[in-house]
Structure 1
Amino acid sequence: MIKFFRSIRKQLIAEHMTGKYIKYAIGEIILVVIGILIALQINNWNEQRKERLTQHQLIDVLITDLESKKAEFVGDLAFGNTILKNSKTAINYWERHNKIDTLNLKVLLKYLAEDDWFFDENSPIYATISGSGLWKQLPDSINRQIDDVYRNQFGSIKSAFAKQTEYALNAKLSFLAPKRLLLFDKSTLELLPIVSENDEEFITKIELFKSGVIRLTSKFKTTIPAIDKLIENLELYKEKS
């Protein structure tokens, strides 16, 4: 193609057709400029496509992380509701009959011994997103949602877990350990007289433990819908971008 244009130029110069040569030269320049602009536009499209792809991949990873956290909270909420149900049954029975119910006695003692409650709100995914260019590209409303879920919601859950660990450790040290109830090697019939001698203290520990679980489950009930809403908005943003 270059040889073709070059031959035309030589022909016009040889024939002393200066006017036509100037027009041709201008046209050639215009064609070159148009070609450069088209190449730049194509390059821009490719770069934008790559950026969108990277952006969507980051959003997908964030959604996966949120779904994982949600699944964890859903399981914890179900477990918490079971604890509350068993605790309420034991407390109500004691209040009505002034004695310890044997139905869930061993289970409740095991609950009181659980002092390793833990949740790590830190997320490498969140750290990556918040430190990337994606954070600036996302709408402010979504940024605020992400920040609220990872900092506020997850942070409050971590605090609730820490408080629950504190309650359980207190029960372990002040009630279970002194009465040698930590091994869970006794039958319910063997446990009943030990706990019955200290029924008020046992019920107090259960009530304190129950209050912590209520706090935890309330956090799960507000965080799970917040995660769902954030995932929905991230999916919508992906579709529109």
Structure 2
Amino acid sequence: MIKFFRKIRQNLLSEGKTGKYFKYAIGEIILVVIGILIALGINNWNLNRIETKQTKTILNSMILDLESDISNLESDIVFFENDIQKSRIVLNSEKFDRITEDSLYNLLPTNSSSYSLNRHSFEKLKNSGINNILDSDELYESISAYYTDNADILNTVNSWDFDYSLKATDFWRLGNEFEGPILNDTIITRYRDGDIIRKTKLVQLVSSMKSRNIIRYAISRKLTCINVYKGIKFDAENLIKIINQELGLKK
């Protein structure tokens, strides 16, 4: 093709048709520019197609992460509700005749959650350039808020609950009167006091004003955790809807 154009130019020059030569040269330049623009357009189309495919893959993966978050948040909400129910049994009971000392101990609020959001797909999106890869401002803001603001709130309430649950556990397990059980121990280990004495001491311990206030504060914490977890669960469900809408636009 290049030889063909060159031959035409040579013929025009040899025949002295300078004006036609310049017109032809300009036309040839225009054709070259159009060819370059077409090539760039095809290249950009291929890049956009690859980017769209990459975005859809990451967003579909993020939906799975969010569904995992929802499931785990729901499980922990049930966990908190069970803890609250057990704490209320301790606070509302006047006698513990029908319960063993170890069963009574297991009613005390000593557990906490350490769940953190599944950030696998979010990290992929960040590494891909979240500002460039997403077309929707609403989606970008929702993803950023979920994985930054909500993650910070979740870590804060979890740390708060863990710290005070640990203090409560130390109070009940490391006191001078009641000898606490060895958790997950499959081997029988002898206590210094018999069952009746241990039961009496534990009842006295959990009936003290300090224990009751510790348990009441634990209920307050768990209720706060439930509200936070429900809020994050709601945001996860809403984010799934926004992502599905974005994926629908990319079909």
What does residue 8 of structure 1 align with? 8
Q: Are 2:229 and 1:220 aligned?
A: yes
What does residue 49 of structure 2 align with? 49
What does residue 157 of structure 1 align with? 158
* Pairwise CA RMSD: 3.6
What does residue 172 of structure 2 align with? 171
What does residue 194 of structure 1 align with? 198
Match of 2:181, SS state, is: coil
When residues 33 and 130 of structure 1 are mapped into structure 2, their CA distance, relative to the original with a 3 A threshold, is: closer
Q: Which runs of 5+ in 2 are unaligned?
A: none
Q: Name whichever of 227-236 and 98-107 sits farther off.
A: 98-107
Shift of 1:82: 2.1
Q: Name whichever of 142-151 and 101-110 sits farther off.
A: 101-110
Amino acid at match of 2:173: K
Q: C-alpha distance in 2, partners of 1:105/1:79?
A: 22
Deviations 1:167-199 (A, max 9, x none): 23332223xx8422313769xxx7566334543
TM-score, scaled to structure 1 = 0.73
Amino acid at match of 2:96: I
Q: C-alpha distance in 1, partners of 2:165/2:46?
A: 53
When residues 113 and 84 of structure 1 are mapped into structure 2, their CA distance, relative to the original with a 3 A threshold, is: closer
TM-score, scaled to structure 2 = 0.70
Aligned-residue sequence identity (percent) comes to 27
What does residue 99 of structure 1 align with? 95
Q: C-alpha distance in 2, partners of 1:135/1:102?
A: 62
Q: Name whichever of 157-166 and 106-115 sits farther off.
A: 106-115
When residues 83 and 103 of structure 1 are mapped into structure 2, their CA distance, relative to the original with a 3 A threshold, is: farther
Q: How does 1:32-111 map to 2 (within 5 A)?
A: 32-92=32-92, 94=93, 98-100=94-96, 102=98, 106-110=102-106
Q: Name whichever of 57-66 and 79-88 sits farther off.
A: 57-66
Contact 1:80 1:213 in 2 (8 A): yes
Amino acid at match of 1:110: N
Shift of 1:33: 0.6
When residues 232 and 107 of structure 1 are mapped into structure 2, their CA distance, relative to the original with a 3 A threshold, is: farther
Match of 1:182, SS state, is: coil
Amino acid at match of 1:180: E
Shift of 1:53: 3.8
Q: C-alpha distance in 2, partners of 1:210/1:35?
A: 72
Q: Name whichever of 4-13 and 135-144 sits farther off.
A: 135-144
Deviations 1:4-37 (A, max 9, x none): 2223333333433333332222211110010011
Q: C-alpha distance in 2, partners of 1:39/1:222?
A: 50
Shift of 1:99: 0.7
Contact 2:87 2:109 in 1 (8 A): no
Q: Which runs of 5+ in 1 are unaligned?
A: none
Shift of 1:87: 3.1
Match of 1:26, SS state, is: helix
Contact 2:83 2:109 in 1 (8 A): no
Q: Are 2:138 and 1:134 aligned?
A: no
Q: C-alpha distance in 2, partners of 1:127/1:170?
A: 40
Match of 2:96, SS state, is: coil
